[in-house]
Amino acid sequence: MNVSSNTAVILASSSEARATVLKNVGLPFEQIAPKVDEEELKHSMHAAGATAMETAVSLAELKALKISKAFPEHLVIGADQMLECGSIWFDKPVDMEHARAHLTALRGKTHYLSNGICVAKSSTVIWHHTDQAALTMRHFTDEFLTRYLEQAGEDILGSVGAYHLEGLGAQLFRKIDGDFFSIMGLPLLPLLDFLRGHKVVIT
């Protein structure tokens, strides 16, 4: 893929939500999905006793470094998010039935979204940040869940929790503690501070 020399930032992610966050604040960037084996890294880190946060950071770095090798002159943003409830790590649902099972398992409980974000340049991580949000789902009925899944549709399959907090997903929750942008998958304000320091964003 060709990247314009006038674009200083690359988002190493296939996430539409993360791209939307950056677009909404007017940041010029290119988006490239890195081809990395996320599941293998998650499996190996879980087996080694790593925390969800440590895994999120490692995944973010893996993505950023993968793209940075091909585009060393650019600032490459890598980000990842892990959902943990109890001792269980949740992955993105593969279909709507899987999404139903996820939400049924999370119903009435507090789960945690651990976010790792980093920036790489010239195949070196030059900045990273971590953030965690706690989200408590309410005891919604099976009838509500069925209606929610019908209305939300397959777009929610791109979210690890099978919800979009900015939309219908807000109705799933009783309490939320954490940064909105982090829940979206991209801790935006610390990232903008970093980019201002590198003259990418006007101060």
- Which domains, and CATH codes, for the chain? 9-197 (3.90.950.10)
Give the model's pLDDT for residue 1.
56
Q: What is the CA radius of gyration of the chain?
A: 17
The backbone torsions φ and ψ at residue 42, rounded to the nearest 5 degrees and listed phi first, read -60, -45
The encoded tokens of residue 77 equal 């943003």
Confidence tier at 180 by pLDDT (50, 70, 90): very high
Whether the pTM exceeds 0.85: the reply is yes
pLDDT, position 3:
56
- The tokens describing 19, both together, are 């791209």
As given in the structure block, the two tokens for residue 113 are: 């979204």
Q: Return the pLDDT at 202.
A: 74
Average pLDDT for the chain: 93
Residue 199 has pLDDT above 90, yes or no: no
The predicted structure's pLDDT at residue 6: 58
* Neighbour tally for 47: CB within 10 Å: 8
Give the residue carrying structure tokens 């503690």: 177
pLDDT at 4: 53
- 7-34 pLDDT tens trace: 799 999 998 889 999 999 999 999 999 9
Query: Closest by alpha carbon to 169, among 186, 188, 153, 185?
Result: 153
Q: Alpha helix (H) ranges present in 5-95?
A: 16-24, 38-47, 52-70
Query: Residue 2 pLDDT more than 60?
Result: no
Q: Strand ranges (DSSP E) for the chain?
A: 9-12, 30-32, 75-85, 88-90, 110-121, 124-137, 173-177
Of 112, 103, 127, 110, whose CA–CA distance to 53 is shortest? 112
Mean pLDDT of 128-137: 97
Q: Exposure of 1 by Cβ count < 10 A (0-12 exposed, 13-18 middle, 19+ buried)?
A: exposed
Active-site annotation, residues: 80
Q: What's the DSSP call for residue 200? A: S
Q: What is the pLDDT of residue 107?
A: 98
The pLDDT of residue 61: 97
Mean pLDDT over residues 39-57, rounded?
A: 94
What pLDDT is attached to residue 131?
95
Whether pLDDT at 130 is above 60: yes
pLDDT band at 76 (very low <50, low <70, confident <90, very high): very high
Strand partners, 89: 84
Distance between CA 74 and CA 84 in Å, rounded? 33
